[in-house]
Amino acid sequence: MAVLALLEHDNGAIGDVATQVLSFGAAYAAAAGLPLHAVVIGPGGEAAAEPAGRFGVTTLHVAEHEGLVAYAPQAIARGVAELIGRLSPVAVIGAGSERGNEVFAHLGAITDLPFAANCIEAAPGEVAQVTRVRWGGSLLEEARVHGALKLLTLAPHSFEARPAAAAAQPAVERFTPVLSDVDLAVRVVERVQTQTGGGVSLASAKVVVSGGRGAGSAEGFAPIEELAGLLGGAVGCSRAVTIAGWRSHTDQVGQTGTKIAPEIYIACGISGATQHMAGCKGAKRILAVNTDPEVANTADFDYAVIGDLHQVLPAISAELRKAGLK
C-alpha cells in the first residue's frame, strides 16, 4: 500500500504544480503512515526521479508506450488504473489543472470510484475529509470521500512546495500499460508554442499585466504591452477581451483561461468578476487600475489606482525608464 502522486512533466522536467502535488502527497502519506510513490507518463519520465526524490518519493513509476508520446487523457488514466491494480494505493493525488482534472475524470470512470476535484485540504482515513474549491473560487465545500481508494486533485497554487528534510534517490520502475485503440482515440497530434510579453510564458511569468474591457480596443493594449515589457512580464486579458476579438484566448486569465501565480498581477480596466479572479487568486499581490473606485477597491485587490489605464500606465512606464529600465 502507498500514496500515489501523478506528476505532469515535460520530458522529465516537473514544474511548480507537480512539486505542489508532491509536497501535499508527502504530507498525506506521512499522516497515513505509508510511503509516497509517483508516476510519470511518457518519454523522458525517468528524469523526474531526482526532483521527486527531494520530496520523499521512494519509487518512481514510469509508463512507457508508443501511444503515450503525446497527451492522451483516457490512455493516461488507463495506465494509472493498471498501476493501481498492482500497488493498491489508499489515494491517488494529481494536479487540478485542465489536463489533471480531465485525466482523473477518466480514472474515476474506469475504476468506478468517486473523484474530488480542486481540493485545498484533505485528511486520510476510511472516510476522507476534504475541502475543495467550487464555483470559480467563490465557494469552499467541505465533503467526505468514501471508498478504500481516494481520487483527489489539488487546486493549483493552493499549496507551498516544501522539499523533504532528507532527499533520497527513488527506485525507478518502468512499465508498459495495455492500451486499446479506444484509449488512444483522443490524443494531441500537434503542439503550437505560444508566448506573450517578449517570450515570457503567461503561466510562469513573475509579473503579469492584464487588460479588460477598459482597454477599449486591441490598440488600447499598447500601454499594457509596454509596461509588461519593461517589467519582464507577460500580457494577459479578461474573457470579455477575447470575446471581442482583441486578444487570443491563449492570453486569457480566468476560470476558462490560464490560472496564474505571479509575484504581482496588474489588472487594468478589469471588473474583477468571480470567473476572472479564479484565474489570478494565486498571485502574491494584485494591483488594480480602474476608473471605477467601487471596482478597484474590492476585497480581491491589494492595491488600487483610480484612473484611466491609458494615462496611468504610460506614467508608470515613464518613471520606470527614468529608473533605468528599458
Give all domains of the chain, ordered by start, each with its CATH number.
Answer: 3-175 (3.40.50.620), 207-322 (3.40.50.1220)
212-245, pLDDT tens digit by residue?
999 999 999 999 999 999 999 999 999 999 999 9
Residue from 268, 270, 283, 280 nearest 315 by CA: 268
Residue corresponding to grid cell 503567461: 202
Q: Residue 197 pLDDT > 60, yes or no?
A: no
Confidence of residue 194 (pLDDT cuts 50, 70, 90): low
Mean pLDDT of 174-185: 95
pLDDT of residue 30: 94
Q: Which of 323 and 295 is assigned the larger pLDDT? A: 323
The helix/strand/coil state of 44 is coil
Residue whose C-alpha is closest to residue 67's, from 178, 190, 175 = 178
What 3-state class would DSSP assign to 109? helix
Contacts of 153 (CB under 8 A, 6+ apart): 93, 94, 95, 96, 100, 101, 104, 115, 116, 117, 118, 119
What local confidence, expressed as pLDDT, does residue 161 receive?
Answer: 87
C-alpha span between 242 and 166 (Å, rounded): 47
Residue linked to cell 506528476: 7
Q: Considering the chain, what is the average pLDDT of its residues? A: 91
pLDDT digits 0-9 by tens, 120-142: 999 998 898 999 988 766 788 99
Can you state the percent helix, strand and coil of the chain, rounding each to 5? 35, 25, 40
